[in-house]
Amino acid sequence: MLSSIKARVIIFYVAILFIILPALGIFLYISLGKIIYNSVDSSLLSGAKALATLVSNENGETQFSFSDEIMWEYNSIKAKNFFQIRHFGGTTIEKSKSLRNLELPLPSDQNRISYQTIDLNGELARLVNFRFMDYGDDEHEKKDPVVRRNASGFIIQCAVNIDEQEALLKNYRLILSLSIFSIMMISAVGAFFIAKKSLSPIKEISDTIKGISESNLSERITPRNVPKELRGLAASFNQTFERLEKSFKRQKQFVADASHELRTPLSVILSQSEVMLRKERSAEEYKNALIAIKEATGMMSEIVGKLLAMARLSSDKLELKYENIDLIEIIRKGVKLLTPLADRKDISINISVSEHPIIHGDRAAILELFVNILDNAIKYNISKGKIDISIKKEESFIVTEIRDTGIGIDEKDLDQVFDRFFRVDKSRSKTTGGVGLGLSICEEIVKLHGGRIEIESAIGIGTTVCIYLKENGYIAVN
């Protein structure tokens, strides 16, 4: 559940609402309570103060000068206002009729004005305790310490029934809770839709990607339909598709070229066998046909072998075993392998080196590289020609130069010699052999070793191939 962005958005959103909204509700409720109690309290206090002005102490006797207007709100049995006047210490002097036989509770601290909410015979009431000293009316006497000492103190307690206010607050609490609850529910549903809506571009991208297959790899995610935040993602996907498409195209081209190469030997096999099967033949005819078929098969297996070598190089790069190898040793081995071929055309191969450079590479691949190059140098050489192999250092590279005295390659073809299946001579005849993959394989090998291969040629003079491989030390020649 939490792995879904939508669920997470909704949960976080709702969680925040569940914290903020109830907190707001509690705050509002407390604020309103305070406002209501403050107003009740201040009206109680002014009531108490008003009563205080009507209380006086004369000759040790407490006098009340309550008018009917004032008493009206206290003296009905049903009145919701109450008062009780006490001496310091607690003795009740007077109380309102509305109190009937009830007593307002004595405050714990009689020296200051205090407020409290009390239970008055099962009903809630708010009570103020007002301390009052009667110093008389005379301004001078009021300041006389003697007078002050003898002055009598009263506690005027005023209370009011607050059932109504409590009911109001209760109502308010209910309404507040209900509205907060509904807001939370509506918001949760809203969050669901918002999350869904804001995630819809992701779904669109995913649908586009889902719809892209091998057959329509050229399709892309249209950037202007994608929100800003997802453009990077869309661009990355598009780049990936670009690369995929390129690689698919290359692969397709390769397969097409390969099948094309196999068609000629296949048609030899098919024609030979079909013509042979049209009627009874002599043993000689069958033999000739079988020879032709065998040759065609040989050509096919050479093509297939080269194709596999190519595929192996481009796919299983990791299978190459890199080690330090003596370049001269490998070249000598390659020359040795091809000497019978060179002897047949009376070609001399000459290696001139003064040091033994070490390179880091795969022994088999490097051998294949030199065998391919030397094979070409022999194949396209003239009778009694020469092949010179020399090695020099250039920056961090070991450059092996293989120069032949062959037929050369036309300048217009030079750019294409590394292309797969490219042949300078368009003929597939067996006299010049070649399936057009040799140099592609060489280039692939050199690239895998972090080097490069260069070729220059002049018609009728010869071809020079330079192989650049990274240097990895030297062994001095003794």
Partner 1 sequence: MRILIVEDEKSLADIIKKGLEEEDYSVDVAYNGEDGLFMAQNEPSDIIILDIMLPIIDGMTILRRIRKAGVKTPVLMLTAKDGMADKVSGLDSGADDYLTKPFHFEELLARIRALLRRDSEVKTCVVQVGDLFIDMASHEVKRGGKEIALSAREYALLELLTIKRNKVLSRTYISEHIYDYDFNLDSNVIDVFINRIRNKIDRGYETKLIHTVRGTGYMLKG
Binding site for partner 1 (CB under 8 A): 256, 260-261, 263-264, 266-272, 274-275, 278-279, 289, 292, 295-296, 425-429
**Residue 458: in which H helix or E strand, if any?**
strand 452-458
User: Which whole-number Å values give the CA distances from 129 to 41, 88, 137, 231, 287, in the listed order?
Assistant: 10, 12, 23, 72, 134
Shortest separation between residue 423's beta carbon and partner 1, angstroms: 9
452: exposed, middle or buried (C-beta count within 10 Å: 0-12, 13-18, 19+)?
Answer: middle
User: Which residue lies nearer to partner 1 by CB, 365 or 417?
Assistant: 417
Q: Are 436 and 421 in contact (CB under 8 A)?
A: yes
User: Which residue lies nearer to partner 1 by CB, 285 or 319?
Assistant: 285
Cα 106 to the chain's mean position, in Å? 70
Shortest separation between residue 420's beta carbon and partner 1, angstroms: 15
Shortest separation between residue 434's beta carbon and partner 1, angstroms: 12
Count CA atoms closer than 13 A to 389's CA, side-chain side.
Answer: 23
Measured in degrees and rounded to the nearest 5, phi and psi for residue 415 equal -65, -25
Shortest separation between residue 469's beta carbon and partner 1, angstroms: 35
- Please report the sign of the dihedral spanned by the C-alpha atoms of residue 86, residue 92, residue 96, residue 98: positive
- Please report the sign of the dihedral spanned by the C-alpha atoms of residue 318, residue 321, residue 323, residue 327: negative
Shortest separation between residue 258's beta carbon and partner 1, angstroms: 12
Shortest separation between residue 291's beta carbon and partner 1, angstroms: 8
User: Which residue lies nearer to partner 1 by CB, 210 or 426?
Assistant: 426
d(CA 53, CA 154): 12
321: exposed, middle or buried (C-beta count within 10 Å: 0-12, 13-18, 19+)?
Answer: exposed
User: Which residue lies nearer to partner 1 by CB, 268 or 399?
Assistant: 268
Shortest separation between residue 270's beta carbon and partner 1, angstroms: 4
Count CA atoms closer than 13 A to 212's CA, side-chain side.
Answer: 18
Residue with tokens 């190459």: 320
User: Which residue lies nearer to partner 1 by CB, 294 or 393?
Assistant: 294
User: Which whole-number Å values give the CA distances from 221 to 214, 238, 239, in the listed order?
Assistant: 16, 7, 10
User: Which residue lies nearer to partner 1 by CB, 56 or 288?
Assistant: 288
d(CA 58, CA 135): 10
- Residue 348 pairs with which residues in a beta bridge? 386
Q: Are 115 and 126 in contact (CB under 8 A)?
A: yes
Shortest separation between residue 292's beta carbon and partner 1, angstroms: 4
Shortest separation between residue 259's beta carbon and partner 1, angstroms: 9
d(CA 463, CA 150): 135
Shortest separation between residue 213's beta carbon and partner 1, angstroms: 23
Q: Are 107 and 158 in contact (CB under 8 A)?
A: no
User: Which residue lies nearer to partner 1 by CB, 10 or 258?
Assistant: 258
d(CA 407, CA 385): 10
User: Which residue lies nearer to partner 1 by CB, 182 or 427?
Assistant: 427
At 216, list the tokens.
């329509």
User: Which residue lies nearer to partner 1 by CB, 263 or 344?
Assistant: 263
Shortest separation between residue 269's beta carbon and partner 1, angstroms: 7
- Residue 393 pairs with which residues in a beta bridge? 398
User: Which residue lies nearer to partner 1 by CB, 300 or 441?
Assistant: 300
Provide long-range contacts, Cβ within 8 A and 24+ apart, for 199-208: 199/5, 199/6, 201/225, 201/226, 201/227, 201/230, 202/5, 202/230, 205/230, 205/233, 205/234, 205/237
User: Which residue lies nearer to partner 1 by CB, 270 or 458?
Assistant: 270
Shortest separation between residue 309's beta carbon and partner 1, angstroms: 22
User: Which residue lies nearer to partner 1 by CB, 271 or 314?
Assistant: 271
